[in-house]
Structure formats: structure tokens, C-alpha cells
Structure 1
Amino acid sequence: MKRVITIIVVIVIALGAIAYVLSNNKKKNEEKTAFIAKGSGAVAVRVASVEKKAVDLDFSANGNFIPKQELNLLNENAGRISAIYVKEGDRVSRGQSLARIDAEIINTDRQTAEATYQNALRDEARYQSSYQTGGVTQQQLDQAKLATRSAKLRLQASQKTLSNAVIKSPINGIVNKKYIEIGAFVNAQGTQLFEIVDVSRLKLKVNVNESQVANLKIGDKIDIKSSVFPTDKFSGQITFIAPKADGTLNFPIEIEVANNAKNALKAGMYGTAVFNFPQQAPSILIPRTSFVGSVSSNEVFVLDKASNTSKLRKVVAGRILGENVEILEGLNEGETVITSGQINLTEGSPVSIVK
């Protein structure tokens, strides 16, 4: 019995809470629409003057610096590490030796390939001489030539393998990580040896919206700021603009940034791209909320001051600039557009301006 009473009490409390929330929401909705329909059938609206304003296209976007070049250097040959010439943090140049693999077995293979090639050359010379006197057929001579070419290719491959016993850096950069030690055995399946990064030039990845990306192009010069080095100035150049928006309807772009002489900027730091544009001529701007439905409708209600009624007007919208929209055709300075209450308006509806 007590359990039944408890359940009933819980249900009553829940219903009371729901009723309170609904009542509260109703009051809020009434407050939001309080400006609608005040006496004499007039629709309460808010308005804004149509005037020319300076167009400011400047904006900034934040992102992270990443290396322009980074490389995980893998091994190509199996063997034991016999020497390491660099340590983490060392700056290396392209072609510089980083480590060496014990080349005893590799060198033996090269010597065997060399001996095989020399023997094939001698055999080919003998077959060539015998062919001229009729001692061997053309087919036997061709087989000897083929054996020589095969032996030469094996020799070239073994020479390349021997040269790869000395591991060299393929790029300029800094040794960020060293994964090997002297005496360690590495196999030929791509053992990771070093991580090398080049921070002399970095990339700053940022996202911009559709109205911003429309004013950008590859090659644009961009000012770069770093909160870690507020007094230092950096410059960049747009190298990539995504042709397709991401899931948030933003467009990823990449800006290549030249580091300073001290390579102060590090990969992973935050950066701010400052996009500055030439001063624009003033344009007619109206609030984005002036449009009936959406900007794409190209329709707004204009206030007829003489009769205090609404007039539907076709316009041509231009750029969307934040909360404002540029108007190319359809409105003149000095007119007044209705910015709220349009849902209750038709052509010629009487209106009451809410201030």
C-alpha cells in the first residue's frame, strides 16, 4: 500500500513540474510576441533605416602550426646498428649521414655479385668468339648475353644496398626523435629510425566561413600573430583553399609561414591569421533579419511612411557581412525596412513601430 502511495505522489509531483515548465514557456512566448497586433489591427514591427555604411571585410582566424616537412625515416636493409652520428635536437642537412648499419654481410653479397658479373662477361666473350667460328648457335650466344645483363642488374642492386648501409637524411631539418641505439638489430621491413621535422617554414591551418572564403585566393599574403611571441612579426602566404566545406560548413585553408632566424615558432603552437583587405567603398547594408524567410528569398518589407503600412519589395542581395547583408538593387538610402514581425504582414498591412 505504501508503495502505491509513493508512486502516486511521484506522479503528481512530476505532473506538477511539467505543468510549471509549460506555463513558464507560455509566458516567455507571450513576452516574445507581445509586439504583435496592438489595437486597431496594426501589426507591431521593428524597423531599420536604409543607409550606406563602410564595408569591413577584415577578420582573423585561429589555428595550429604544423611543420611544412616532417619525415619518419625507415630502414631499408636488415642489419645491426654499428654507429649513430646524431642525437635528438641536432640540426641535419639533406644527404647528411645519420647512422650506419654493419655492412659485413651486405659487402659479401656485393662481392659475390661482382664475381658473378665478371664471370658472365668472360663467358659472353667466349661465346661471341665461338659463334664467329661456328662453335655455338645464336641461341646460346643470346643466353650468354642475357646472363650477363642479369648479373649486372644484381650487381647494381647489391651496390645500392651497400650504399644504403649508411643512413642519410633526405631533408633539411631537426632530429625530433631517435628510435635506435648502437647494437640494435633492424630488419628490412621498415624499422623506424628517426623522426625529422623542418620548422624553418611552417603551415598554419585555419577554417573560414563561406562569406570569408569568397574573398580569398591562393597566393594572398597574410599577417600572422603568435600569442607566445606578441612582439614578433610573421608573414604567410595562402597555399591551399579547400574546394569543399567540412562538416561544420567551414572551409579549411593552409597558410605557409616563414619562421624567424631563431626558429622561435614550434609545431603545435597556436597562431592567428589576420586577413586584411583594401578599404571598400560604402554600400547599402540592411540587417539580415529584414528578409522574408531567408536572404535567398530576395524579398523585404518596406515601411510606407505616408500610410504607415508595409510594402513588399524585391531586392538583389550581395555579400553577407556578419549580421548585415549588402543590397545591390531595390533599396535607396533614406527608406525604412521592417526587421521583425514580417510573419504577420501582407502587402499593405497597417503597422505600429515598436521602439
Structure 2
Amino acid sequence: MTNPPPDGARLQDLDALRLDPQLRAGATGRSGRTAMRLGLLGLSALSLIGGWIYFERPAFLLHEVPVVRVTRTFPSQAITLFTATGFVVPQVRAQVASKATGRITALEVREGDRVEAGQVLARLENADLEAARARAVANVMVSEAQVSAARAQLAEARARLTEFEAEARDAARVRKRAEQVARERFLAEQDRDAAIARDEKAAATVTRARAAIDTAVAQIAIAEAQVEAARAALREAEVAVEYTIIRAPFTGVVLEKFADIGDVVAPFAATAAAKGAVVTLADLQSLEVEADVAEASLVRAQVGQPAEIVFDALPDIHLRGRVRQLVPTVDRGTATVLVKVALVDSDPRVLPGMSARVAFLARELEFDEQLARLTVPLEAVDERGGERVVWRVGPGGHLERVALGELPILGEWQVVSMPLGAEVRTDAGAWSAAGTRSIPTRSALVEGDNVVLGPGLELQPGQRIRGRPLGGQDHE
């Protein structure tokens, strides 16, 4: 066990642990200067942040207001009675098939090809039918030759009849003279008998010649009938060959192709391995929209009613239409009536099967009413001092004041830009008789710009705001 150190030794150890007063004073001075520097840096940072907030106004500090986009609106919306959806279908459409059974040896069209009425679409193997047609042609030639031979025989029989008739007349004269001389007993009886026999023989020859003529006439009739029969057989053979050539029944466009070279086709797909139709053909000049109209709206639809058609795949195209037919049957499952709307205008981009929206209109559209206007909701219009303006949200959220002038109102929308050459309407139903003028399409506002909705605040040009976009802007 060790003994503790004496008290003197412990005091010396504590003195060794004390700091030098001079060193302690130097350390205190340095820490004070560091604190001052840190304070100055903090004040500078606060000044910079305050200046940035004052001059830049970050978005989270700006006043938030609702904004809407400038969109396109068509004038037809103001005179639309109701709308319906449907699909584009051609009035003239056919699945072209063959009336004969055979293997396709040539397919001369593909999808999208335009064909004329009567144009060859496909060919089937027909060597046997071609041989039958050649045989029918030969039979026709043989029958016609037989007619010619019969006519020659008739001519020969008539010539012989002429000769025999002359001989019979001469024999009749000789007999008459012989009988007269014999009565006067100047001629032997045997000579008289010879004259009589000659006369009777000549008469019999004439009778046979006339019978030969009748026979020749009958032979001609038979030969001509054989010609007609041969020609009918030829036509039959030609029809059989024609059945192996598939032609377009009308002018149109090939929509679908169901068979290829080597496939067997048969009428109505008579066998499991055979194809039915070869192609589907449609006349794209006869396109129409079949729309399903709610039965509650049917009272406002009538044949001949104007309409406007918009296609989902081509939203920029608005075509005029006209109600062609109201199918007099209600679908019990959907409570709709099929209405067929013919296209008055055409566009090569419109294809069968496209979905479409049909607006049934209260009146015909004027020419320039088919052009879109740039619009904003009426709630975005600010009227100050008798002037109508909208507030456009520019770059950085700065407000720009845009005057509307005499631009019209279109239903629930304010027009902010008119198409070039369009005339201002004074109301939704009639054109102004005087004072109509064209307004250029150029404007401070363009499609997609944001404008303040419900500008009830005291807005000023150049003021910065934070916009809150609203949905539901698609009102084309």
C-alpha cells in the first residue's frame, strides 16, 4: 500500500495547471473579433435577402389569382341545339368476293389503293375454263359454217328448180302437140306416150326440186339454231371465265384485304379452308356520320337540319353536315336513335371508322362562321372607365393590359381575336346591316396565353401575381 504525497506537492501540481494571465487575455480578444465578424456577415446576408424579397417578390409571397387560357371557339357553339357522338361510315361499301371457287393467281391491289368501277382486283386460276371457252368459240365457228353450207345448198336447189321448171314447161308443150297430132292420126301412139311420160317425169322432177328447197330452208333454220346454241354456250363459257376475274363494282378505295396469292376463295366461304371476301371497297365520296342521339333530343332533330362535325383524330377540322335520315327505331338498351348525317364538306384526311362529334344547329352557318375565334370566358373581362380589357399574365408573372375594342361576345365567351376577313356580329342571331367591318386576326393575345379570371382586384400593368390555372378549358 503506497502513502499519499505531502500537501506541498499537491499545491505545486495545482499551480502547474493555472493559465498564464497574458495568454488568457490574448485568447479573449481573438474570440471577440470573431464574433464581430460573424455578426457583420449575418447582417449582410439579412440585407441581401431583404432586398431580394423586396425587388424580386418570390412566388410564394405573391398574391395568387385564378387564370384561364386563351382557347379557340367556333361560332357554331352559340347556335348548337344539342350534340351527339358517332362514327364515320361510307354509304357505299362492299366486301368484294368471287362467284367462282378457285385459287388466287394474281392480286392487283392493296389497302389504300383507289380503283375505278370495273377495274380488275384479283384473278383466279382458270385454265380449264379458258379451254372450255376456246371450244365454245370453235363450236360457234362450225355452226356458222354449217349455216353457210345450208344456204349454198338452198341456192343450188333453187337453181335446179329453175332448170327443172324450164324442162317441165318444154315437156308440157311437147305433150300438148303430140296429143293434138295423135288425134289427127299423124303421130304414132308410142310417140305420144313418150311425150306424156316426159312431161310427167319433168313435173315430178320439179316437185322433188321444190322439196329439196324446203329441206334446204329447214337445214338453214337448224344450222342457225345451232349457231345460237353455240353462241349461248360461248357466252356461258365467257361468264365462267369472267367469274374468275374479280372486278371493282364501283369507284372507291380499298379499305381491307382478306386474301393473298395462293389462297383459295369460294362463294360465301363454302369450305372451311376457303376465303369469302377478297377485299373491302368503299366510296369515300359517300361518307356520313352515324350518330346516337338521345331519344329526349329527337324532337329537335329533323331531316335536312344543318350540323357541324368535329373528328376526335382531327380536332382542327370542322366540316358542315346535314341530317340525311332518322332511323325510326329506338335502341332499348341505350335509349338512343340512330341519326345519319351526310358530309356537305369533304376532306381527304377523314377516314371510315373515325369517331366524331356532331353539333345539331339551329340554322345554317355563314362562310366565315366556320373559322375559329380566340376566346376567353366572360368572367375574364374587366370593364374600367367604359373600356373592356383583359389582363394577360406575361413572363415572370407580370400583368399586361390588353384592350378588346369592338370584339364581339360569342355565347359565354368573349372573342379576343377574329380570323382574317371575318365580320363582327352584333348579336348571336343576325348580322349587322350597317357598320360591319373586318377585324384582322393579329392580336396581343395568342392561343395558350393565360389571362386573369374574375379580375375584381385593383390590378395594374406590370404588377406581379401568381396564377392558379383552372381546368376544363377545352371548349372547342
Give the TM-score, by structure 1 length: 0.53
Alignment of 1:106-117 (within 5 A): 106-117=129-140
Write out per-residue CA displacement over residues 116-164 of structure 1, whole angstroms, 9 at most, x where no aligned residue: 1111112233334445634327655443332221211221232344345
Shift of 1:68: 2.4
Q: Is the 8 A contact 2:120 2:247 kept in 1?
A: yes
Aligned pair 1:236/2:301, yes or no?
no
Structure 1 vs Structure 2 CA RMSD: 3.2
**Who wins on radius of gyration, i.e. which is larger?**
2
Q: Which residue is 2:339 aligned to?
A: 253
Amino acid at match of 1:77: A
Shift of 1:98: 2.2
Aligned pair 1:270/2:355, yes or no?
yes
Partner SS state of residue 177, structure 1: strand
CA distance in 1, matches of 2:352, 2:116: 19
Aligned pair 1:144/2:223, yes or no?
yes
1:64 is aligned, of 79, 82, 87, to: 87
Write out per-residue CA displacement over residues 8-65 of structure 1, whole angstroms, 9 at most, x where no aligned residue: xxxxxxxxxxxxxxxxxxxxxxxxxxxxxxxxxxxxxxxxxxxxxxxx8811122222
Shift of 1:108: 1.1
Q: Is the 8 A contact 2:306 2:363 kept in 1?
A: no
Change (3 A) 1:267 1:188: closer
Q: Which residue is 1:312 aligned to?
A: none
1:74 is aligned, of 79, 93, 97, to: 97
Q: Which runs of 5+ in 2 are unaligned?
A: 1-78, 158-210, 270-275, 365-476
Shift of 1:217: 3.7
CA distance in 2, matches of 1:278, 1:163: 51
Partner SS state of residue 64, structure 1: strand
Shift of 1:204: 1.3
Shift of 1:74: 0.7
Q: Is the 8 A contact 2:305 2:360 kept in 1?
A: no
Amino acid at match of 2:235: Q
Partner SS state of residue 92, structure 2: strand
CA distance in 2, matches of 1:88, 1:240: 30
Q: Which residue is 1:90 aligned to?
A: 113
Change (3 A) 1:87 1:211: closer
CA distance in 1, matches of 2:102, 2:110: 20
Change (3 A) 1:131 1:189: farther
CA distance in 2, matches of 1:232, 1:83: 39
Partner SS state of residue 291, structure 2: strand
Amino acid at match of 2:343: V
CA distance in 2, matches of 1:87, 1:195: 10
Amino acid at match of 1:112: R
Change (3 A) 1:189 1:106: farther
Aligned pair 1:159/2:238, yes or no?
yes
Shift of 1:254: 0.8
CA distance in 2, matches of 1:85, 1:118: 34
Q: Which residue is 2:145 aligned to?
A: 122
Q: Is the 8 A contact 1:202 1:259 kept in 2?
A: no
Shift of 1:171: 2.8
CA distance in 2, matches of 1:220, 1:262: 24
Write out per-residue CA displacement over residues 311-333 of structure 1, whole angstroms, 9 at most, x where no aligned residue: xxxxxxxxxxxxxxxxxxxxxxx
Q: Which residue is 1:183 aligned to?
A: 262
Shift of 1:228: 2.7
Q: Is the 8 A contact 2:252 2:283 kept in 1?
A: yes
Partner SS state of residue 268, structure 1: coil
Structure with greater strand percent? 1
Partner SS state of residue 242, structure 1: strand
Q: Is the 8 A contact 1:222 1:275 kept in 2?
A: yes
Write out per-residue CA displacement over residues 48-87 of structure 1, whole angstroms, 9 at most, x where no aligned residue: xxxxxxxx88111222222222211111334432222222
Alignment of 1:339-354 (within 5 A): none
Q: Is the 8 A contact 1:80 1:183 kept in 2?
A: yes
Give the TM-score, by structure 2 length: 0.41
Write out per-residue CA displacement over residues 215-239 of structure 1, whole angstroms, 9 at most, x where no aligned residue: 5443333111223322211122222
Structure with greater helix percent? 2
Partner SS state of residue 58, structure 1: strand
Amino acid at match of 1:233: H
Partner SS state of residue 228, structure 2: helix
Amino acid at match of 2:104: I
Shift of 1:181: 2.4
Aligned length: 223
Q: Percent identity?
A: 22
Amino acid at match of 1:59: F
CA distance in 1, matches of 2:267, 2:145: 34
Amino acid at match of 1:92: V
Alignment of 1:42-57 (within 5 A): none
2:312 is aligned, of 207, 212, 227, to: 227
Shift of 1:278: 4.4
CA distance in 2, matches of 1:150, 1:78: 26
Amino acid at match of 1:96: Q
